[in-house]
Chain A
Amino acid sequence: MSTKRFTCSLHNLEKISEYITECANHAGLNETEAYAVQLAVDEAATNIIEHGYGMECPSRIDITCVILENGLKVVIYDDAEPFDPSKVPEPALNVSLDEIKPRGLGIFIMRKMMDEVNYVSSPDKGNTLTMIKHHKP
């Protein structure tokens, strides 16, 4: 298990990705699986910085990687305003180009890319987003 702390700036997204790639390699995920985790974590971190902290960035994002027997668990902690991804409706995709709207795609990507996505928020501990990606059997 390892944890890294990032200040909440969009300019840290690349550093977050590098850390996730390192974790994914240790967990033995293949290239496609590692990209999926990178993308899901990037979308989660972007949401926290843009919507949770409203780009004000007074705090931090802590990311913990846990190597599992069958994959990788990533836990993201923040103390921004609570933001429950499960409450966000899925975007209307597979519609005509004119109809597509930029709402909720990041969360939809997180759900699609990962095998498990779980969000917990509490006033004293802040927000915890846990996502798991399994190896391909």
Chain B
Amino acid sequence: MDIKKTELKRCTVVKTSGRIDGSNAHELAAALKTVTAKNMYNIVFDMSEVNFVASAGWWVLIDTQKTCKPSGELVLVKVDQGIRESLNLVGMGSYFCIYDDVTTAVGNF
């Protein structure tokens, strides 16, 4: 799993692509932990190239959100329609702010 991290002044942008499932969710968890371990709790997760998220992936994002709040927040960007619908259907959509583009998400911090 290729995960790119870009540290900006007020937040860190994390980006990956493809699937997040039971086989690789731990890699995303490890990458996000390296960000929060530096006390950086404002995270923008760019999902523009992510096309599938299983529950293992959502738990990683929820765990990260728990770590980030209340000092900061994990926000999501460009969530695929199918992913977004499944997230809302299981009632987990309310745990995340979702933005349409990275610039707006970064500007939020």
Q: Which residues on A are within 8 Å of B, measured CB to CB?
A: 9-11, 13-14, 17, 31-32, 35-36, 38-39, 42-43, 46, 49-50, 93-94, 97-98, 100, 102, 105-106, 108-109, 112-113
For residue B38, give the distance in angstroms from its CB to the closest CB of chain A.
Answer: 22
- Cα–Cα, bound, A109→B90 (Å): 7
- With A42-B54, A93-B91, A105-B59 as known contacts, state yes or no: A49 contacts B19, CB within 8 Å: no
Interfacial residues of chain B within 14-62, with CB under 8 A of chain A in the complex:
19, 21-23, 52, 54-56, 58-59, 62
B85 is an interface residue with CB less than 8 A from chain A: yes
Q: Give 15 new A-B contacts, CB below 8 A, not counting A35-B83, A43-B54.
A: A10-B23, A13-B19, A13-B23, A14-B21, A17-B52, A31-B82, A36-B82, A42-B54, A46-B22, A46-B55, A93-B90, A98-B66, A105-B58, A108-B90, A109-B55
Which listed residue (A13, A93, A98, A105) contacts B21, Cβ 8 A? A13
Is there contact, CB below 8 Å, between B90 and A105? yes
For residue A29, give the distance in angstroms from its CB to the closest CB of chain B.
Answer: 12
A interface majority secondary structure:
helix
B interface majority secondary structure:
helix
Is there contact, CB below 8 Å, between B52 and A11? no
Inside 8 A of B62's CB, which chain A residues have their CB?
A: 97, 100, 102
